[in-house]
Structure 1
Amino acid sequence: MKNILVPTDFSAQAENALKVAAQLAKNHDCDIYLLHMLELPLHKVDAISSYNDLPEAMYFMKLAHKQFEELMAKDYLKGIKLHEAVEFKEIFKGVFHACEKFKTDLIVMGSHGASGLREMIIGSNAEKVVRTSNTPVLIVKNEYEVFEVNHFVFASNFKKENHVAYTNAVKFAKLFNAKIHLLIIITASSFMTTKDAKSRIIDFVNISDFKNYTINIYNDESVERGIMNFSQSIKADLIGMSTHGRQGISHFFNGSISEDLVNRAKRPVMTFKI
């Protein structure tokens, strides 16, 4: 891991994510790319894209640069190679562009979640990034004086489509020196015997030589609730999941468990695109 992208709106939640990213950067000798998205009306965004010397562009760029200077002077960032970037795009498009440009290995992003009608219609910014990012995304909601991952829950249905996501999860487990707790949730609507569930997980993990894991089969009312309840029961440090990246009407009707967890789980969540 060499490059970490941290989208920031200079809020407390974004700084919580930056503090985690700073610890990872120091531990693994990474650069941090700070990305700020300027939220302007679409007609101004189009104009700024064509005319970089517009007064609106200059004002907001100078303001962002001042905020970057104040943020990058924080003690916890000393010794880290920092870069700043500003994009005049929607956040998920800006993050995608930045990941391509800076060859990002991990996105660390703060979130306060979204709920109710707002979540259904627009979702949180973190959810939008999770839904569209090809790069693993670590969502952080709280402040961590010391960010350690000893117990890493990887929840899945353990079908072949999740092999790439699991391979990436193993890379991060090795990076954190963490034990992976492989987890399948059994619900009334998706019943599977314990024997069949265990057999599926064992067949699945044979793709990797990683052996520092446990196998867990957990029953609950829903997959989302089961993941959160199991993670609570073992005091997990991190929840990992794959995401399909559904968009549009498909996402509205079907939803995504990983995106729901990003909004509702109190623990950090890491997502891996299928």
Structure 2
Amino acid sequence: MRKIIVPVDFSTYSENALKSAAYLAKKNNAEIVAVHMLELSNAIASQSESYLQEQTLFLYKLTEKKFGEFLNADYLSDIKVTPIIKHFKIFSELDELAREENADLIIMGSKGTSGMKEIFIGSNTEKVIRHSEVPVIVIKEEAIKEDFKNALFACDFSNDDIKPYLEAKRLFNALNCNLKLVYVTTPTSKFKSTKEIKERINSFMDNINENSQARNNVAIIADYSVEEGVFYYANTAEADIIAIATHGRKGVAHFFEGSISEDIANHSSLPVITFKI
């Protein structure tokens, strides 16, 4: 891990993400790229070009000062931190920046959403997850302050999940973290017998020549929804982080119906990391 991107809006949530990035950066001797997205209101944007330039410069200088104060924190000492101010209009452009910077990871804070707000406007977290080609860690209630001991990878053991799983395995091996897998069956999913599910899992493991230890780290959970099943097993397995695969721009993982992959990232109290299929 060489470079971590952290979107910053000066909130407590983005500070938690920055603290988490600092912890991982110190463990891996990595650089942090802190990004603030400066957006001009429609009212300003509709003014004359000279007025727009004047206001843009004013806001840029103001943000630059605030950014400097925000990054002047003890927990960032001894870490290379590069501040970037971008005139992004949409959060999907973070993926473009991640490619330009050759970043290994995006870490962002989120308070999540619920109810009608979630239905109509979603969240910036979801937009980043949909477009990012690099793994995204979503930090919720607390910053990462200690090593991950147990990670949980939720999937349906289809061929689509092979690449995300191998990426997750590589990352968590580097972090000396135990990786467990879970398959959730629900009343609304296409019925499969226990034998069929186990055959599917064994076929998946055979395709990647997985060892017996990994095969023994697989759980089959029955619950009323995939989300509930993942959260239940995460608690039972004492997981420190949940990993999921996503189709990105399609907004859902192959495993999940609707937008459950994004819902897990939105509603989990644990950190969630997404891997692009």
Same fold (TM over 0.5): yes
Stretches of structure 1 that go unaligned for 5 or more consecutive residues are: 249-253
- 1:66-86 deviation line (CA, Å, top 9, x unaligned): 122112210000000010111
**2-side partners of 1:167 and 1:43: how far apart?**
48
1:11-22 alignment, distance < 5 Å: 11-22=11-22
The question of 1:259 aligning with 2:243 is answered no
- Tell me, in whole angstroms, the C-alpha distance in 2 between the residues paired with 1:175 and 1:75: 26
2 CA distance for matches of 1:258 and 1:128? 12
Q: Is the 8 A contact 1:246 1:256 kept in 2?
A: no
Structure-1 separation of matches of 2:184 and 2:15: 33
| Aligned-pair CA distance for 1:30 | 0.5
Q: 2-side partners of 1:46 and 1:189: how far apart? A: 50
SS of 1:54's partner is helix
Q: Does 1:273 align with 2:272?
A: no
Distance 1:83 1:54 in 2: 25
Q: Secondary structure at the match of 1:84?
A: strand
Q: CA RMSD in A?
A: 2.3
Match in the other structure for 1:243: 246
After superposition, give the CA deviation of every residue in 1:182-226 in whole Å (9 maximum; x if it has no partner): 100011122222222222223223415566530100000011111
1:147, distance to aligned residue in structure 2 (A)? 3.0
Instruction: Tell me the residue number matched to 2:254.
Output: none
2:115 partner letter: G
Counterpart secondary structure, 2:84: strand
Residues in 2 aligned to 1:247 and 1:226: alpha-carbon distance in whole angstroms: 23
SS in 1 for 2:248: coil
Distance in structure 2 (CA, Å) of the matches to 1:246 and 1:145 = 28
What does residue range 187-206 of structure 1 map to in structure 2 within 5 Å?
187-190=186-189, 191-206=191-206
Q: How far apart in 2 are the matches of 1:211 and 1:4?
A: 33
Task: Give the letter aligned to residue 15 of structure 1.
Answer: E
1:75 is matched with which residue?
74
Question: 1:97 — aligned with what?
Answer: 96
- What TM-score, normalized by structure 1, do the two folds share? 0.90
Structure 1 position 36 matched with structure 2 position 36? yes
- Distance (whole Å) between structure 2 residues aligned to residue 52 and residue 133 of structure 1: 35
1:145–1:237 distance in 2 versus 1, CA, 3 Å: closer
**1:35 Cα offset (Å):** 0.5
Trace 1:160-179 onto structure 2 (pairs within 5 A).
160-179=159-178
| Total equivalences in the alignment | 268
Q: Is the 8 A contact 1:108 1:138 kept in 2?
A: yes
Shift in CA distance, 36/174, structure 1 to aligned 2, threshold 3 Å: same
Task: Say if 1:243 and 1:256, in contact at 8 Å, map to a contact too.
Answer: no
SS in 2 for 1:68: helix
Name whichever of 88-97 and 215-224 sits farther off: 88-97
Identity rate, percent: 38
Q: Is residue 24 from structure 1 mapped to residue 24 from structure 2 by the alignment?
A: yes
Partner of 1:157, secondary structure, is: coil
Structure 1 pair 122–145 and aligned structure 2 pair: CA distance change class (3 A): closer
1:32–1:82 contact (8 Å) kept in structure 2:
yes
| Correspondence 1:219 to 2:222 | yes
Q: 1:226 to 1:103 in 2, by over 3 A?
A: same
